[in-house]
Amino acid sequence: MISLISLSRPSLSSLEAKQLNNTMKAELDFIFYNRLEKTGSQSMTRLINALGKRNNFGTYRNVIVPKTSPIETFEEETEFIEQLMELERPSAYVEHANYMNFTQHDTPKPIYINLVRHPIQKVISAYYYQRHPVIYANTLLRNKNKKKDKIYFDRTFNDCVKQRVAPFCVFDSHNEFNNDWRRFSLHLCGNEEICTYFNSEIATQKAKDNVEREYAVIGSWEDTNITLAVLEAYIPRFFKDAKKVYYKQTPEFTVNTTPHDTHLDEEVEEYLQRSFHFEIELYQFIKQRLYKQYIAINKQKMQQEYENKSYQLK
């Protein structure tokens, strides 16, 4: 909630949109959206496609291929970035990938964006998403050896965590990759070895540094209005009229939802809060930055509302 940041006069006056706008640091008219799984990235991808037609920029995405490692080597990064440089500009590229420092590859810096979701809700969503009939059928088409028994589909997330069923419901910081791509510190930390450790304080701090230094906007569908307003204000070349397009065609951007039970038993929630401690810290850091960006572009209006309310209370 926006209440995380005080709306008192000193706080408002200290927030400047220019100081929070990393788009100005970009050296390419090119968006790199290294989307995180189960954060509503399909909705954002569809929105970007619609805006590309409206605002005259190209949109691209790769075919998802199975990965044998959670990180890329420097050489693999170089090859990937060189391929991106062949795309027309202005354009936006969408890919499930870790953060990459384009400057280290002697390449101009793009406009980085992303979305987040509360880590616990994210992992619950991922659990039931994999068990959705359509998603499971598509998985079998790619790999017929991944057949699951009835228990796999009938077991609730609460029971899975209580029973510590591996690999789906064991969230152990000592397990390097944790068999779990649903966390987001890895994607925002990068392709260094330290980034692979689950719920790591070091990986979290590195991710925070990347977020603050490099990312133009990291939004959340938990705050749709705020996210769209910030995207429009900080990246207008690409996100002009984002709110208008989204709310006019909302059903087109929410087709990939999979309804599921979000209730957590007390012991399960306590275990997840401990297991995702640093993931939650990173999530809160990102959300606070988003609110700061929003307040910075609306501070005159908020200041006026604050003063009017103060006057009425006298």
Nearest to 262 by CA among 166, 158, 154: 158
Residues forming a β-bridge with 60: 93
Pairwise CA distance, residues 6 & 269, whole Å: 29
- In three-state secondary structure terms, 173 is coil
Which is the catalytic residue, given 96, 132, 260, 277? 96
Pairwise CA distance, residues 258 & 280, whole Å: 23
In sequence order, the 6+-apart residues with CB closer than 8 A to the CB of 243 are 225, 228, 229, 232
Pairwise CA distance, residues 284 & 208, whole Å: 11
Angle between helices 119-130 and 277-313 in degrees, nearest 10: 130
Q: Are 214 and 110 in contact (CB under 8 A)?
A: no
Give the start-end residues of each E strand in 48-124: 58-61, 91-94, 111-115
Q: Are 29 and 312 in contact (CB under 8 A)?
A: no
Q: Are 123 and 182 in contact (CB under 8 A)?
A: yes
Taking CA atoms, 28 is separated from 24, 78, 88, 182, in Å, by: 10, 17, 11, 30
Q: Are 227 and 209 in contact (CB under 8 A)?
A: no
In sequence order, the 6+-apart residues with CB closer than 8 A to the CB of 66 are 142
Catalytic residue at 174?
no
Instruction: State both tokens at 183.
Output: 């966390």
Catalytic residue numbers, as ranges: 96
